[in-house]
Structure formats: structure tokens, C-alpha cells
């Protein structure tokens, strides 16, 4: 388990370094993701210990954004004043996004003949 955690931390650290010194417009963890993806593709499979730790972290991904989300207490008055408009924007946006993505997938795969 520790082995997997250390390897994930190493990829995260490499991503942070790359973001700091070369590609500052991409967040470090995303670069770490890409580096790990490249490593996995070269390796040809997911090493067992990385899979174990990574999958358990992802299974409880929700837990990790609780601390930041609790910051909502700082925005309550502003959110209350805009509650209806924000909800409407979120609903319309998510419906449109699902519709456009799925609609285009369907149309394009018909054209290319992939079922």
C-alpha cells in the first residue's frame, strides 16, 4: 500500500515541478495525471499497488472536496440572493451539456458506421 502511495506522490511531485518550471498554465496534478498515463501506456498495465491505492482514493473522491466546499459558509448571503438564477443556470447547462454530447456522439457514430 505504502509503495503505491509513494509512487502516486512521486508522479504528483513531478507534475508540480513541471508546472512550476515549464508548463505553468496547467495545474501540477493534471500534469502528474498525464505523466502517470504515459507511464501506464508504456508499462502496458496498471501495477497492482498503484491500482490498489489509486482506486481506493478515487472511491472516496467525494470526501476530499468537503473541506473546500464547507467554505460555502463564507458565500451564503451572496448565494441566497442569487439562488434561483444560479439553480436555473446549473439545470439548463447540465441538460444542454448531456444533450449536445450524446446527440453529437450518436450523429457522428452513425456517419462513421460504428454502432
Partner 1 sequence: MNAPLPAHSFAQLPPISEIWVYLSGSPLLALVLTLSAYLLGLTLYERSQRNPLANPVLIAVLVVTLSITLLDMPYAKYFEGAQFVHFLLGTATVSLAIPIYKGFASLKGRMLVLLLSLVAGGVTSVFTAVGMARWLGVDESLVRGLVAKSVTAPIAMGIAERVQASPTLTAIFAVSTGILGAVLGRYVLDVLRITSWWQRGFALGVAAHGIGTSRAFSVNAEAGAYASLGMGLHGIVGAVVIPYATAVWF
Q: Which of residues 58-97 bind partner 1 (CB under 8 A)?
A: 58, 60-75, 78-79, 81-82, 84-86, 88-97
Task: Indicate the DSSP class of residue 83.
Answer: H
18 binds partner 1 (CB under 8 A): no
Nearer to partner 1, 21 or 84 (CB): 84
105 binds partner 1 (CB under 8 A): yes
Nearer to partner 1, 3 or 78 (CB): 78
Q: Closest separation between CB of residue 71 and partner 1, Å?
A: 3
Show Cβ contacts of residue 8 under 8 Å, excluding neighbours closer than 6 positions. 36, 50, 53, 54, 57
| Residues 22, 2 contacting (CB under 8 angstroms) | no
CA distances, 104 to each of 46, 85, 86, 90, 92 (Å)? 32, 28, 27, 21, 18
Among 3, 17, 20, 98, contact with partner 1 (rule: CB under 8 A)? 98
Amino acid at each position: 500500500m505504502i509503495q503505491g502511495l509513494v509512487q502516486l506522490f512521486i508522479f504528483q511531485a513531478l507534475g508540480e515541478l513541471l508546472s512550476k518550471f515549464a508548463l505553468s498554465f496547467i495545474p501540477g496534478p493534471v500534469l502528474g495525471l498525464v505523466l502517470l498515463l504515459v507511464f501506464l501506456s508504456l508499462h502496458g498495465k496498471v501495477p497492482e499497488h498503484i491500482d490498489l491505492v489509486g482506486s481506493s482514493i478515487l472511491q472516496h473522491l467525494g470526501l476530499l472536496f468537503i473541506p473546500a466546499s464547507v467554505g460555502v459558509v463564507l458565500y451564503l448571503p451572496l448565494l441566497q440572493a442569487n439562488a434561483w438564477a444560479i439553480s436555473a443556470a446549473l439545470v439548463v447547462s447540465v441538460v444542454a451539456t448531456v444533450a449536445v454530447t450524446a446527440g453529437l456522439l450518436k450523429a457522428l457514430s452513425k456517419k462513421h458506421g460504428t454502432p
